[in-house]
Amino acid sequence: MRETPLHFRTITEIAEEIATKQLSPVDVTAAMLQRIDQLDGQLKSYATVTADQAMAAAQTAEREINAGMYRGPLHGVPIAVKDLCFTKGVRTMGGVEVLAGHVPAFDSTVITKLAAAGAVLLGKLNLTEGAMGGYNRNFDIPKNPWNPDRWTGSSSSGSGVATAAGLCIGSLGSDTGGSIRFPSAGCGVVGIKPTWGRVSRYGVLALAESMDHVGPMTRCVADAGIILAAIAGFDPNDPTSLPNPVPNMLEGIGQDLQGVRIGFDEHYATNDIDPELADAVRAGVAVLADQGAEIVEVALPDVDEYVSAWPTLCTTEAVVAHAATYPSLRDAYGPWFQGWLDMGAKVSGTEYAKANNLRAACTGHLRRVFSEIDVLVCPSMSAPPHVVTEEVLYGAYEPRDPKFQRFTVPFNYNGAPTLSVPCGMNSEGLPLSIQFVGKHLTEPLLCRVGHAYESATPWHDLHPDV
């Protein structure tokens, strides 16, 4: 069997060799920076590459490890973060032209925690404007490494591309309506949207604060758990962060699924979606049963009615998030996000209240469903990555069919944790993705389920030929 190239290896693999001094953080970081230099001119995943800082951090990590001060599995490992996360002295733009010169004077909490874990920051990753659906013409559109004409999954697109293409060993994304799950699915990687509040949002540019989540994107489930453990925890600077202790995210990983009740609503998960994806999800359920899980038939309501309320909530909260620059600098926004903000500015208090009531109703239905199960299984999105053009992505806002976010928005509404894992390739050679949804604060169980699935399937070992 051919050895996995360094750039496609996992945090788990690299960390073991760094800890035993078989691998140098300086050498790993230099190799990653060289690969970025060679390939990212085409893939366009990075907004800013922090090469000098990365090499300095790698040298510090190497000195510490050689002195016996090993911090843990992220020590000396090169990662990258979505360009929403404030990074002291490094521009943080959020894909927004009006923030092109924004250089924070402090680090976001997630950056502080990654540094405390000894991670090496390679740079900041491109995203859609304001972390929504379209791009500003002054910013690059990341290219899907499986097929450059296909969608990269919206907001955390740079994170998905860089992780899939081996331009970082792991990354951070954010998710308000699917933006960890969509790029994870579209680029064939693993993504965790944690429980809302599990990870501090202090110093992270907002889209819609009541639904924003920050989480890891990696090439295997264990790696996602490692990053999540590093960035999770209460933060006094973010009063919405949860005071619950951070558990061992990998507790029970490697065990079978005996005693785990996994809910499956075949109608919800397979009706009116891509047939090859539906078949892959059904096959995934069979794998879980083979691993010892009890498959429980559940019935979800038609969630599309509830999903249709999401634009009202998100646009309104986006106007609040951009109050410093919208509407005063409205013309500096690209047409897609400008239209999004314009729509939010017209929402009345009554309309927002009605939308919020639909959100609450959806959350209530899900609470009932989860009273019978531990984990729900469904797709991460309704189809493989679709064809896109720069004209569309730089163009004006167009409403989406609610089914587009059928498998994402309900879990932004209720803040439940989700895990997306590759589950196949379609006939066009594009990745497919299965999603596991848990109860609040059950990320270790999700990692156990995801790892059991991953261990029985080959999909996470496939990489794009770039």
Return the percentage of the chain with pLDDT > 70, whole number.
100
The average confidence (pLDDT) of the chain is 97
**pTM tops 0.95, yes or no:** yes
Rounded Cα gap, residues 456 and 292, in angstroms: 12
91 vs 3: which has the higher pLDDT: 91
Is 159 an annotated catalytic residue? Answer: no
pLDDT digits (tens, 9 = 90+) for 262-311: 999 999 999 999 999 999 999 999 999 999 999 999 999 999 999 999 99
Catalytic residue among 108, 179, 420, 433: 179
Catalytic residue among 155, 174, 184, 241: 155
pLDDT given at position 1: 39
pLDDT band at 2 (very low <50, low <70, confident <90, very high): low
Is 354 an annotated catalytic residue? Answer: no
Catalytic residue among 82, 143, 193, 439: 82
The CATH number of the domain covering residues in 6-461: 3.90.1300.10
pLDDT given at position 3: 85
pLDDT digits (tens, 9 = 90+) for 405-454: 999 999 999 999 999 999 999 999 999 999 999 999 999 999 999 999 99
Is 184 an annotated catalytic residue? Answer: no
pLDDT band at 69 (very low <50, low <70, confident <90, very high): very high
Return the percentage of the chain with pLDDT > 90, whole number.
99
SS (H, E, C) the chain: CCCCCHHHCCHHHHHHHHHCCCCCHHHHHHHHHHHHHHHHHHHCCEEEECHHHHHHHHHHHHHHHHCCCCCCCCCCCEEEEECCECECCECCCCCCHHHCCCCCCCCCHHHHHHHHCCCEEEEEECCCHHHCCCCCCCCCCCCCCCCCCECCCCCCHHHHHHHHCCCCCCEEEEECCCCCHHHHHHHCCEEEECCCCCECCCCECCCCCCCCEEEEEECCHHHHHHHHHHHECCECCECCCCCCCCCCCCCCCCCCCCCCEEEECHHHHHCCCCHHHHHHHHHHHHHHHHCCCEEEECCCCCCHHHHCCHHHHHHHHHHHHCCCCCCCCHHHCCHHHHHHHHHHHCCCHHHHHHHHHHHHHHHHHHHHHHCCCCEEEEECCCCCCCECCHHHHCCCCCCCCHHHHCCCHHHHHCCCCEEEEEEEECCCCCEEEEEEEECCCCHHHHHHHHHHHHHCCCHHHCCCCC
